[in-house]
Amino acid sequence: MINALSHLVSLSDAERTRRGVRHTASEIAGQVDLWKVNFRLLAERREEIRAYLDPLLGASRKHVVCCGAGTSEFVGLCLEGLLQRGLGVPVKVASTTRIVTTPGDVFVSGWPTLLVSFARSGNSPESLGAVRIAEQADADVSHLIVTCNPSGLLAREAASLRRALTVVLDERTDDQGLAMTASFSNMVVAGQGLAHLESWEGYSESFAGLCGLGAVILERAPGAVEEIARLGFDRAVFLGDGAHVGTAVESHLKLQEMTAGKVMCAWDTFPGLRHGPEAVIHSNTLVVAYLSADGFAQAYELELLRELRRKRIGRAILAVCQKEIPGLDELADTVIPCAPEGAAPIEDALTPPAYVIVGQLLGLFTSLHLGLSPDDPSPSGVIHRVVEGVRVYDPRVFARTGELSVLAER
């Protein structure tokens, strides 16, 4: 039986172009297959990457900074804890927009630093500016660039950096739609591979489980999400804990940008919602709950959903989980369990690439419901696929002369 997403992908080129889904629908639908392609790519380069990282990871003081702008920054949020555990070093996430404005808040003098840059196109001026500013830092910076575009400015910049390794994902991950979808989930998969360089065999088994989750979501979720899109909500709140903080942040951006801001979105952890942000939930708000399989975290999450039910706030609650949870159907209006039948749950930290598909689908179908074009939902041109009109200034020149000297621009 064809589902709502498969239907869009099966339309003629002319009809997909007319409806504004020439790229986005197929990019969402095809991403699980691309995970497997990029997993093999990482496997082939695993020893090369390990050899590159060994000198840094062997230093007495070191840390890792994951950076990117917008969705590319949120890749790091999905990976922060996993990388810290897998590499055994402190890891933090800093947007390139933060690096170019306040680099002194990111780099620690005297600490060897691995700057992991995530970028779809690599053509954003902040992406280029961040690595150039990092080269000026008194922190012995090494670069690991993960990008979807071998011809992008960031990939080309690697040749001029003191110490850099570039991982270019399959060219099909360089989404042509405005919203990053396949590029996001595939860069998260690449980052998960980096966290498991020393435990690849075990990760291979978990990765197969992740692909199973993704396939089930692509099968089960489109119809349910399309129905939710017809509710006409004008706010949405996304909730997640651990790695799913990144899932929630990315989902809130996907829905907001694909609806050109007609649906205003927020995100938080489940416990964090109580500390003020719960005020945003009114009678026409959708709540999306990305639930953990871990029983400890899940206890907090279910408690919050019970509270929302008691207070009778929100238009509808959509819950995403691996396995069915007893009593969850009483706490949520729609439940999407995504574990294949008979499959054991996988580590929560590995599931963001699968769970985020729900957020992508919400953006896609709500955009269509509002009469917008998901491929290019901003009719006034407020947002673009790659940011424009941005200059990045050289902090070293400004500190010395008080003059603004352009370091990168678009």
Q: What is the pLDDT of residues 45-89, one digit of tens each?
A: 999 999 999 988 887 788 999 999 999 999 999 999 999 999 999
Homologous superfamily (CATH) of 221-379 is Glucose-6-phosphate isomerase like protein; domain 1 (3.40.50.10490)
Taking only the tens of pLDDT, the chain with its 410 residues reads 479 999 999 999 999 999 999 999 999 999 999 999 999 999 999 999 999 999 888 877 889 999 999 999 999 999 999 999 999 999 999 999 999 999 989 998 888 999 999 999 999 899 999 999 999 988 889 999 999 999 999 999 999 999 999 999 999 999 999 899 999 999 999 999 999 999 999 999 999 999 999 999 999 999 999 999 999 999 999 999 999 999 999 999 999 999 999 999 999 999 999 999 899 999 999 999 999 999 999 999 999 999 999 999 999 999 999 999 999 999 999 999 999 988 989 999 999 999 999 999 999 999 999 999 999 987 666 665 566 668 887 777 877 888 888 888 77
Helical (H) or strand (E) element with 308? helix 295-311
Token representation of residue 35: 């995970």
Closest by CA position to 188, among listed 201, 205, 202, 207 = 207
Per-residue model confidence (pLDDT) at position 384: 56
- Cα 9 to Cα 24: distance, rounded to the nearest angstrom: 9
Q: Which residues of 76-103 are buried (b: 16+ CB within 10 A; e: fewer)?
A: bbbbbbbbbebbebebebbbbbbbbeeb
Predicted structure pTM score: 0.95
Break the chain into its structural domains and give their ranges.
24-198, 221-379
Residue corresponding to tokens 């008080």 = 402
Token representation of residue 401: 């002369």
- Cα 194 to Cα 79: distance, rounded to the nearest angstrom: 10
Fold of 24-198: Rossmann fold (3.40.50)
342: left (phi over 0), alpha (psi -120 to 50) or beta: left
